[in-house]
Amino acid sequence: MQNIGLCTHFTETDEWAFEYALELARTRHCHLNICHWLESPYQIRRDIVFDDLFDRQETVPLTPQLLTKFDLQLRQYYEPKLGDFTDVGFKLCEGSYQVELLRCFRQHLLDLVVMGYQAPDAAEQAIEQPLELFATNLDHPLIIVGVDGPNTFLLNAKAYQLLDQLALPEGSWQVLEDAQVSYRVL
């Protein structure tokens, strides 16, 4: 394991995921990639996005200047939290996070992804699988943090294979199973 990805949407569970991913990157001497997917109110038009990473009120066309603004916002948000940890990269991503994550795994850019728990959203389910279902079907290691609090972890089958490298406290994690996913999604 050399590259850990953190996917963020700036939620409370993302904060918990960040703390875990950072600690894991520190102890395993891994590169931490902090990724944020640009948000758009439109399913298909990804060239129209909200004009701020935090205040999602107005939409504007995506421009190079806006990408620069977003990159700066992402860095300013996370750099103070990194302390002396410097083996970090920042990435703004366009399009569906599930498609982009698959692409990153297939290109060997990430070895493990850590995400904060996201409750299923009816609008999102129309275009993407619920997070737990996506993780269950993913053939790459993914950990979901915060389903029942800051120190609770859901591991997909591939992440479970790395359990001895994940430094998770005993009793804090569960392996995602098909029955569990269908229960949570309903």
Provide the residue-wise pLDDT of the chain in tens; the chain has 186 residues.
899 999 998 899 999 999 999 999 999 999 999 999 888 777 677 788 888 888 778 888 989 999 999 999 999 999 999 999 999 999 988 777 788 888 888 988 899 999 999 877 644 544 577 888 889 999 999 999 998 899 999 999 999 999 999 999 999 999 998 644 443 443
Closest CA to 12 of 108, 150, 119: 150
**Which residues are CB-neighbours of 4 under 8 A, at least 6 positions away?**
21, 24, 25, 28, 30, 31, 32, 33, 110, 111, 112, 113, 114
- Rounded to whole angstroms, how far apart are CA atoms 87 and 76? 16
- CATH code of residue 97: 3.40.50.620
Residue range of the domain that includes 48? 3-185
Which H or E element spans position 35?
A: strand 31-37
> How many structural domains compose the chain?
1
**Which residues are CB-neighbours of 72 under 8 A, at least 6 positions away?**
none
Predicted model pTM: 0.88
